[in-house]
């Protein structure tokens, strides 16, 4: 019963954490309804929701087992270290906008330190292998601490997802499965990895930002099924962390078994770097935490790697400069994993960051992006960059919720 209670408390807390990030002051119901007429409940202040989330997760942390227990951690049920890492994420969100409770930086540091001290987790030496494992259905508890667990069962679409289909590399090569490739990258992401369009020392770039697309061929070979982009074709590239060609056969269209990461050990290290930098500046601990992620990104954790410090952040950064490096490192490491928008919001730079995308798209020096029939490049990005406002910090409350819950208020601007 303790275990079941721990799982239930964590899942309730996690769901409210996700809800309040997207919709703000949602109604927080902690007791069962009394009947069909017990529907009206006003939105709960965001700070109160976060307080309850931390209360529930803290209790859950003492009730769920460690990763030593089969099925717990990785893609299965949440383990103790999963809860600790998620508590750190919640604390960092409380420390930033809109709650701005900076006392939570210390709490975030304390929680991630528990994860590190457990010695149950470590970075996979190969960044690409993290996502090859997810595509192949291989569970790596050390790196990937919690995933949305998906599977393909013929005739049971509820078991599967669309990871790698919607956000994969487009093409209809039947040898690898067909993906629609609906997500393309921004130039800001591409250049964040450094180097030139032809090469970079950051091995994450050409895995995250695919340098090629599939040809519509049925034959197979090392590169004959691929069309490579030119150095100026940056906006044409696909966000491609999750790849169908690593899935177990047979490959299928629209439904995939690829899991989606909810917490990785790289996040634990970067959260520690961020909390430590706020509390004490860029100390050796802060540098060590971010540099482990960077060294893995440059292949410096692989056997035989040399000049390991080449990947490290430069010494002597100011507190503000180090925070900027953390922000950029999170962009590079977690692109396509659903963390970026809420990171920008908690840092208070969401609107300014989105506005910067418009001039970048229109600058001919940055390479011509794809155009619509009307000749306008990336119309959706430009529209967002030109119209983004505080309204966009939250989603609108669904019409159905407003209809049934008379005490619920619509978010500002919607």
Retrieve residue 151's tokens. 């599977």
Higher pLDDT, 173 or 378: 378
> CB neighbours (10 Å) of residue 8?
13
pLDDT band for 180, please (50, 70, 90 cuts).
confident
pLDDT band for 250, please (50, 70, 90 cuts).
low
The pLDDT of 338-349, averaged and rounded, is: 98
- Residue 373 is predicted with a pLDDT of 47
Average pLDDT, the chain: 91
**% of residues, the chain, pLDDT over 70:** 90
- Residue 204 is predicted with a pLDDT of 98
Distances from the Cα of 293 to the Cαs of 100, 193, 239, 334, in angstroms? 27, 13, 20, 11
Retrieve residue 138's tokens. 């291989």
Please say if the pLDDT value at position 254 is more than 80.
no
Convert the pLDDT of each residue in 20-76 to its tens digit. 999 999 999 999 999 888 889 999 999 999 999 999 999 999 999 999 999 999 998
Convert the pLDDT of each residue in 77-112 to its tens digit. 999 999 999 999 999 999 999 999 999 999 999 999
User: What ranges do the domains of the chain cover?
Assistant: 150-258, 349-414
């Amino acid at each position: 019963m303790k275990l079941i209670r721990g799982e239930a408390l964590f899942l309730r807390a996690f769901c409210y954490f996700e809800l309040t990030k997207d919709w703000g002051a949602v109604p927080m119901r902690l007791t069962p309804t009394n009947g069909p007429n017990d529907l009206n409940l006003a939105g709960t202040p965001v700070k109160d929701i976060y307080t309850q989330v931390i209360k529930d997760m803290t209790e859950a942390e003492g009730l769920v087992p460690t990763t030593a227990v089969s099925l717990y951690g990785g893609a299965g049920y949440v383990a103790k270290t999963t809860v600790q890492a998620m508590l750190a994420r919640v604390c960092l969100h409380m420390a930033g906008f809109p709650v701005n409770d900076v006392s939570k930086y210390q709490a975030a540091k304390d929680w991630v330190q528990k994860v590190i001290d457990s010695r149950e987790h470590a970075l996979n030496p190969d960044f690409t292998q993290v996502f090859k494992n997810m595509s192949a259905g291989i569970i790596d508890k050390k790196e990937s601490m919690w995933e949305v667990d998906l599977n393909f069962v013929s005739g049971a679409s509820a078991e599967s997802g669309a990871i790698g289909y919607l956000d994969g590399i487009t093409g209809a090569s039947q040898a690898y499965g067909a993906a629609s490739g609906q997500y393309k990258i921004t130039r800001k992401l591409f250049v964040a990895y450094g180097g030139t369009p032809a090469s970079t020392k950051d091995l994450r770039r050409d895995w995250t930002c695919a340098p090629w697309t599939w040809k519509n061929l049925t034959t197979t070979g090392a590169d004959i099924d691929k069309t490579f982009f030119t150095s100026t074709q940056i906006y044409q590239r696909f966000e491609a962390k999750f790849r169908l060609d690593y899935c177990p056969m047979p490959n299928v269209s629209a439904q995939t078994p690829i899991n989606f990461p909810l917490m990785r050990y790289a996040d634990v290290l970067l959260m520690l770097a961020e909390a430590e930098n706020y509390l004490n500046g860029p100390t050796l601990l802060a540098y060590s935490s971010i540099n482990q992620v960077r060294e893995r990104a440059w292949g410096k954790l692989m056997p035989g790697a040399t000049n390991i410090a080449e990947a490290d952040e430069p010494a002597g950064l100011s507190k503000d400069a180090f925070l900027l490096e953390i922000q950029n490192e999170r962009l590079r490491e977690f692109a396509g994993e659903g963390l970026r928008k809420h990171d920008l919001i908690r840092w208070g730079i969401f609107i300014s960051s989105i506005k910067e995308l418009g001039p970048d798209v229109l600058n001919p020096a940055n390479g011509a992006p794809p155009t619509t029939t009307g000749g306008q490049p990336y119309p959706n990005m430009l529209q967002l960059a030109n119209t983004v406002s505080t309204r966009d910090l939250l989603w609108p409350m669904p019409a159905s919720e407003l209809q049934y819950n008379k005490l619920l208020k619509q978010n500002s601007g919607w």
